Amino acid sequence: MDKLVIEGGIPLRGTIPISGAKNAALPLMAASLLAPGVHRFTNVPRLRDIRTMERLLAHMGAKSEWNHGLTLDTASVGTPEAPYELVKTMRASVLVLGPLAARYGRAKVSLPGGCAIGARPINLHLRGLEDMGARIELEGGYVLVRCGRLRGTTITFDQVTVTGTENLMMAAALAEGETVLENAAREPEVVDLAEYLTEMGARIEGAGTAVIRIQGVDHLKPGRAHAVIPDRIETGTYLVAAGITGGSLQLTHCRPDHVDAVIRKLLAAGLVVQTGADTIRVEAPADGIRSVDAATWPYPGFPTDMQAQFMALMTLGDGVSVIKEQIFENRFMHVSELKRLGADIRLDGRSAVVRGVPHLSGAPVMATDLRASASLVLAGLAARGRTDVSRIYHLERGYEALDEKLRAVGARIWRERE
Ligand SMILES: CC(=O)N[C@H]1[C@@H](OP(=O)(O)OP(=O)(O)OC[C@H]2O[C@@H](n3ccc(=O)[nH]c3=O)[C@H](O)[C@@H]2O)O[C@H](CO)[C@@H](O)[C@@H]1O
Ligand SMILES: C=C(OP(=O)(O)O)C(=O)O
């Protein structure tokens, strides 16, 4: 297994191209199950999670090929089943549930279980499918779904759920009649999925708002080649990388409007940020990082997937920052590791109270989840001396060529065998 070694303290300067969004590509790949045939996606990031979804679709009989993007042929899908071995490595596997139920009238999908950041139940996905007429049983750790054609209905989510909204939007695309999703997730990834589904022949209105209306159709067909939206969390992570190292970066191939809430926090922290049509220029503050509070919230709020990285920045702030995690009950696993690098952080329920320190010092650290790992890399880039980040398979789930991209802007970061 590899670890990342970082010699910190170098201000990053240069240009970083942003990759396609993992959390947009995964539901798009699942959507290919809704219509047998050849689906083409461009700007798909080469990541562990994407490979896992490829393997999951292959298990069902799909064929995939990389050639200037990803081609998925779902013509021979015949096993509507997601086994535990694959689901346990990637929770987003649950995204096949809605498409399989709608297209095949049956599905056997392993329950994803909890993970480092929280319990993460899928009750809202299941209840929604039941409301649409599916019979659901839990057996041997699997969700078994049986249904005739799903029926449109009104579903009001108790809580905003991103993959829940995506799953039910995909199921509703082939249902009979109208489905209304209320309190739906408004994330850009939901909009990207709705755009491709529409391209496939689905009738969807309101994606990107809290109420999505879907008129079910009898058949869907593969759409034209679809370009995955840029990764807003990767974008945010590199914005912080410039600020925390005292550097300046130009990010290209990104969507500045998708990181609005993050940019506003970074401006409050003193960073200089200028946006273009698909570029962002970011510079560290000349007079040090200002401490600011943040609270996570569904889009367009401050993303939970940026909480750990923002906390890394705040460890070097000029005062006290209170960071409140309001989406996941346990997304603070990075705190104890950041403390090993010299950060002053106290946990108080769902808040972290971060008192800025003048500098961080390198140390061996271990990551427990994807964004926690990113926060440790950021802290390591700023720290004096050497930081070893182990368990980088977490990072490989969600960051394409992270070490290469950072090296290209001057970071001293490399892989070593553990
Ligand atoms: C692949 C993907 O897109 N992953 C993202 C998605 O995860 P994911 O879609 O799994 O997260 P959700 O939006 O569903 O979770 C939001 C909250 O709702 C709760 N909940 C969710 C569903 C459910 O049936 N019951 C329930 O109680 C969750 O435990 C959590 O507390 O959105 C999260 C919140 O922005 C991000 O951190 C993840 O990166
Ligand atoms: C939590 C994340 O991913 P997942 O929902 O796949 O665990 C993430 O992308 O930060």
Co-location of 218 and 236 in the same domain: no
What is the number of the ligand closest to the CA of 330?
1
Which residues form ligand 1's pocket by a CB distance below 6 Å? 23, 26, 91-92, 118, 120-125, 159, 161-164, 189, 304-305, 327-328
The active-site residue, picked from 111, 115, 180, 227, is 115
CATH number of the domain that residue 129 is part of: 3.65.10.10
As a whole number of Å, the end-to-end CA separation of the chain is 6
What is the number of the ligand closest to the CA of 303?
1
Co-location of 115 and 79 in the same domain: yes
Q: Which of 210, 227, 244 is the last residue of a domain?
A: 227
Q: Which of 170, 196, 227 is the last residue of a domain?
A: 227
| Of 220, 209, 213, 129, nearest in space to 178 by CA | 213
Q: Tell me the DSSP string of 334-385.
A: HHHHHHHTT-EEEEETTEEEEE--S--B--EEE-SSHHHHHHHHHHHHHSBS
Please give the pLDDT value at position 367: 85
Which atom of ligand 2 is nearest to 92's Cα? Answer: 6
Co-location of 160 and 258 in the same domain: no
Q: Say if residue 418 is exposed, middle or buried (CB neighbours under 10 Å; 0-12, 13-18, 19+).
A: exposed
Please give the pLDDT value at position 54: 98
Task: Mark 141-165 as b/e (b = at least 16 C-beta within 10 Å).
Answer: ebbebebeebbbbebebeebbbbbb
Active site annotation includes 254: no
Co-location of 27 and 156 in the same domain: yes
Residue whose CB lies within 8 A of the most ligand 2 atoms, among 90, 91, 165, for a mutation test? 91
| Of 154, 204, 211, 215, nearest in space to 185 by CA | 211
Q: How far is the CA of 166 from the centre of ligand 2 (A)?
A: 14
Per-residue pLDDT in tens (0 to 9) along the chain, 418 residues: 899 999 999 999 999 999 999 999 999 999 999 999 999 999 999 999 999 999 999 999 999 999 999 999 999 999 999 999 999 999 999 999 999 999 999 999 999 977 888 889 999 999 999 999 999 999 999 999 999 999 999 999 999 999 999 999 999 999 999 999 999 999 999 999 999 999 999 999 999 999 999 999 999 999 999 999 999 999 999 999 999 999 999 999 999 999 999 999 999 999 999 999 999 999 999 999 999 999 999 999 999 999 999 999 999 999 999 999 999 998 999 999 999 999 999 999 999 999 999 999 999 999 889 999 999 999 999 999 999 999 999 999 999 999 999 999 999 999 999 8
> How many structural domains compose the chain?
2
Please give the pLDDT value at position 116: 86
User: Whole-angstrom Cα distance, residue 368 to residue 330?
Assistant: 12
Co-location of 163 and 40 in the same domain: yes
Structural tokens at position 415: 């892989």
Looking at 75-122, list the stretches that DSSP marks H as alpha helix, in order from N- to C-terminal side: 84-87, 97-104
Please give the pLDDT value at position 201: 98
Please give the pLDDT value at position 76: 96
Which atom of ligand 2 is nearest to 49's Cα? Answer: 6
Please give the pLDDT value at position 278: 98
Backbone torsions φ then ψ of 76, nearest 5 degrees? -105, 20
User: Whole-angstrom Cα distance, residue 177 to residue 218?
Assistant: 10
Contact 364, 351 (CB under 8 A): no
Contact 321, 343 (CB under 8 A): no
Please give the pLDDT value at position 153: 98
Residue closest by Cα to atom 8 of ligand 2: 305
Q: Which of 227, 256, 289 is the last residue of a domain?
A: 227
Residue 232 amino acid letter:
R
Co-location of 273 and 404 in the same domain: yes
Backbone torsions φ then ψ of 7, nearest 5 degrees? -105, 110
Structural tokens at position 354: 């971060």
Residue whose CB lies within 8 A of the most ligand 1 atoms, among 95, 96, 162, for a mutation test? 162
Co-location of 36 and 101 in the same domain: yes
Contact 265, 81 (CB under 8 A): no
Q: Which range of residues forms the domain containing residue 197?
A: 22-227
Co-location of 208 and 240 in the same domain: no
Q: Is 23 annotated as a binding residue?
A: yes
Co-location of 334 and 323 in the same domain: yes
Residue closest by Cα to atom 36 of ligand 1: 305
Which atom of ligand 2 is nearest to 22's Cα? Answer: 9
Q: How far is the CA of 112 from the centre of ligand 2 (A)?
A: 13
Co-location of 27 and 8 in the same domain: no
What is the number of the ligand closest to the CA of 88?
2
Contact 143, 126 (CB under 8 A): yes
Co-location of 245 and 129 in the same domain: no
Co-location of 236 and 298 in the same domain: yes
Residue 13 amino acid letter:
R
